Amino acid sequence: MNQATIGYRVFQAFLVAFLVGLGTFIMVRVLPGDLAYRIAAGRYGYDLVDSVAAEAVRLELGLDGSPILAFLSWFWDLIRFDLGYSLVTGELVRDAIFHELGHSVDLAATALILSLFIGPPLGLLAGFRPGSIIDRLVLASSVVFRSIPHFAIGLVLIMIFSIQAGLLPVAGHGHPLSRVLPALTLALGLAAVSSRIARDAMIKVRESDYYLFGRTKGLSESQVFFRHGLRNVSVPIITYLGMQFVYLIEGVVVVETLFAWPGIGHSLVHAIVARDIPMIQGTAFVMGLMFVFLNALVDFLNRLVDPRERVV
Amino acid sequence: MSKILGAFMVVLVLLLPFSAFAAPPMIQIVAPWEISSKDPSRAGFVYGRLEVAETLVNVDLNGSHIPGLAASWDTSDDGRIWRFTIRPDVRFHDGTLMTTETVVNSLLIARQKPGVLNRAPVESIEADNEAIVLTLSEPFSPILSFLTHYSTMILAPAAYDESGNVVEVIGTGPYRITLLQPPQKMEVAVFTEYWGPQPKIERAGYLAAGRGETRALLAESGEAHVVFTIDPASVQRLARRDHLEIRTVPLPRIVSLKLNCAHPGLEDVRVRQALSLAIDRAGIAQAILRQPDLVANQYFPPSMQAWHLSDSAPLRYDTEQARHLLQEAGWHVNDAGKLERDGQLLQVEIVTYPDRPELPLIAAAVQDQWRSVGVEATIAISNSSVIPARHQDNSLEIGLISRLLALVPDPLGILVQDFAPGGGDWGAMNWNSDQLSAILAKLIVSGENDTAEELNRQVSEILHEEMPIIPISWYQQTVAVSRQVTNVIIDPFERVYNISAMEWNEQ
């Protein structure tokens, strides 16, 4: 990657930080409901939230002050890498995000790796014999796994692997095997789509002139696949990985709640309900940066496998 | 595909010997409540339930006050000065000795934060030799009960920073925290220098699992030993499992409709009674809660013996009578089948919140049942804080709420707030009863004595008659308990899990 691209990504990161911060700030302020009451409900729970608690929160946090000043102060803190304190828990937002994002990244990365072992190999297999029984089976299962919600896939997996077989923990974290079921739940959904991408890419590559030429000059099926096929098939799969992050973020919210996994998706939903502004801004900011970073990574990987990009 | 799945299973089987979950070395508790903070005013319930921190006063299963960190107490004749003698030789988990100063420090900090102490007329809290002296500006009998609440738990001085924020939970309980990962996980181990008897169970874990399905599956797989709040749909399935026992405990909580009695339609007591008559409580309890005996036939559930009327005429479901009362109040059914008076329709908005998942369903059922007598109700589902917020700005018409009547074992403290003249955030709204106010004032001064029973009874009767709040259903806590543990005591006040009393089942 050259300097101009890196510079562009850094600029993009800065822009994302500013826009995400501004966006979440405005959205939280225009949402209906009194901020002080919302935060008090988040802090003290529905049995203890009342006007006394709300007034105490309002006084403590100075919620009557100017919103423009509040935003500017948040942005000034952000430039100094200070994300502030959660209005609900009183913990440092940085620590909460570090703890929770760490768990989410752990889960997402495991899911992504698992899905790479399931989706693309099956897709390639199907792509080798389009129209075969394997191809149709892969198509059918990918339709099933993509259309069933995560929640249902997760429940079925728990029933099979934990209740019936007694092999894996139902939920929670801390045990090395705890991540298997939530990651598998996400991975099946991811693999459902990446197998399709891999299949189509494989068919296209197999039909290409260079592939046919490789076969014609006497290379075996596996030789031509590993020398000329794999690299070309990888490009659309890697590009598609970038888009799967969105799917992962969406899935993580549901899966984390089902498996009692202490991740960022789960905590972001809670933060939004409780109007925990620093927590929402901090989380959205870090997620925004992650998107920029991951897209940059995908670009980088594509350049690595596809030399044509480097020449251009 | 089958090859990959097969390989995957092989890996799992190979990993099996390393998995610790099959035979957990600790008692695992699972509940829906997240650990939101270290601060007792926000998440003290979890530190109290796992016996990490303690309060001055405790309660037994019947709701009677028993000594906690205070060994004894007495009160002055005018009921304004309370002296609590502190238990000697109590150590905090950091090894420091509990003194009267440390207790006063904790209480003063608790009083500055929302909770219960800031709702009591406390004038001063001071240390005096071996005792704590609590001076009230006026007699307030629920104070003893307030001191059992988790927001008043006693922590070591090192638990607080200079501005009173809790930085570490250092209590005096039989268990100390070994791992704290908010919002979901906590682990505790026995505190060997505990002042009371040493518990048999050495380690315990707490996991907050928000989904009912997850909790039921955790109980079913045997990973968890005590699982709280089992959803109605899972109860029958779990009851069939040999390794589990399902227990239910009535809770002092009620689902009710909070009516704005200044609303032009709702100010007439006959309309309020008619609305109550038009609710099919048995249907709601059967179809939504799947517990037919949770039908609320009066305001106070049977578990609140001192307040429950065993002989009162129960709230009925009688649409004929409802129509009759509405007609008496001047509401007539128009051509469209809706109630109308002087050209105005009887329209109301029911506000509720999804924190307790049954509430929106109950709202829909009530809306449908009221439609049959001509009442036009709309439903707004929002956040729990909207109820007090819209009570304050007077825009609430009807709130469908779930109210914990015994936030502290003695409900008097709650009743005084809920039925203060004009109403309370979670109680009546724009409703007054001089008689009720007078009785509550009397009870606040006198507390538990001979006349209390009769006065409690009058309170129940007034609420029953006047309907500022329409009761719908009561609650119960459903717990799945593993047969691997014995002596599991479920506290109806949800203060403690009593892990210190549990034992492993040797059989």
Per-residue model confidence as pLDDT tens digits over B34-76: 898 899 998 999 999 999 999 999 998 888 899 999 999 999 9
Q: Classify residue A61: in a domain, yes or no.
A: no
CB A229 within 8 A of CB A206: yes
Under the banding of pLDDT at 50, 70 and 90, the label for residue B20 is very low
- Provide the ipTM: 0.83
Cβ atoms within 10 Å of A78's Cβ, excluding its own: 17
Q: Do A177 and B385 touch (CB under 8 A)?
A: no
Minimal CA–CA distance to B385: which of A104, A245, A58?
Answer: A58
Residue A249 within any structural domain of the chain: yes
* Subunit contact A47:B404, Cβ cutoff 8 A: yes
Q: Assess whether the previous peptide bond of B32 is cis (omega < 30° from 0).
A: no
CB A290 within 8 A of CB A25: no
Percent of chain B with pLDDT over 90: 61
Asked if A162's CB is within 8 angstroms of B213's CB, the reply is no
Best mean pLDDT range from A158-167, B102-111, B178-187, B404-413 = B102-111
DSSP letter for each residue of B343-376: TEE-EEEEEE-TTSTHHHHHHHHHHHHHHTTT-E
pTM, rounded to two decimals? 0.85
Q: Which residues of A touch B185 (CB under 8 A)?
A: 172-174, 262
Do the chains contact at B218 and A267, CB–CB below 8 Å? no
* Structural domain spans, chain B: 253-475
Give the residue with greater pLDDT, B13 vs B282.
Answer: B282
pLDDT in tens, B448-493: 666 778 888 888 889 988 999 999 999 888 999 999 999 999 998 8
State the residue range of the domain holding A192.
Answer: 108-263
Please indicate whether, in this complex, the C-beta atoms of A51 and B391 are within 8 angstroms of each other. Answer: yes
Interface test with B, best of A28, A35, A47 (most B CBs within 10 A): A47
pLDDT exceeds cutoff 80 at B16:
no
Render pLDDT for B312-331 as a digit per residue (tens, 0 to 9): 778 899 999 999 999 999 99
- What CATH number does the domain containing A168 carry? 1.10.3720.10
Residues A242-275: tens digit of each pLDDT: 778 777 877 888 898 889 888 888 788 888 888 8
Q: Which of A53, A90, A118 sits opposite B4 (nearest CB)?
A: A118
What do you get for the CA distance between the two ends of chain A, in Å?
Answer: 12
Chain A: give the shortest CA distance to residue B89, in Å. Answer: 33
- The top-level CATH class assigned to B253-475 is alpha beta
Note whether B19 contacts A: Cβ–Cβ < 8 A: yes
Q: Judge whether B35 and B208 are in contact, CB under 8 Å.
A: yes
- Residue A83's Cβ-count burial label (10 Å; 0-12, 13-18, 19+) is buried
State how beta strands B376-381 and B347-352 pair.
parallel
How many of the other CB atoms lie within 10 Å of CB of B339?
A: 25
**Beta bridge pairs of residue B341:** B344
Average pLDDT of A195-216?
86
Q: What is the CA radius of gyration of chain A?
A: 24
d(CA B152, CA B110): 6
Residue A87 lies in a domain: no
Taking contacts as CB-CB distances below 8 angstroms, the residues of chain A near B20 are: 175
**In the structure, what pLDDT confidence band is assigned to residue B11 with cuts at 50, 70 and 90?**
low
Bridge partners for B27 per DSSP:
B204
- Greatest mean pLDDT among A236-240, A264-268, B117-121 lies in B117-121
Cα distance between the two ends of chain B: 44
User: Which position has the token pair 């601060």?
Assistant: B39
DSSP B253: E
Best of A37, A106, A118, A255 to mutate (most B CBs within 10 Å, chain B): A37
Q: Is A52's CB within 8 Å of B114's CB?
A: yes
* CB of A244 closer than 8 Å to CB of A193: yes
Q: Is residue A118 a part of any domain in this protein?
A: yes
The strand pairing partners of B125, in sequence order, are: B134
The residue with greater pLDDT, B51 or A83, is B51
In angstroms, rounded to a whole number, what is the distance separating the alpha carbons of residues A295 and A121?
24
d(CA B201, CA B212): 27
The total number of structural domains that make up chain A = 1
**Residues B94, B170: contact at Cβ < 8 Å?**
yes
Phi, psi of B370 (to 5 degrees): -70, -30
Distance CA B463, CA A242 (A): 62
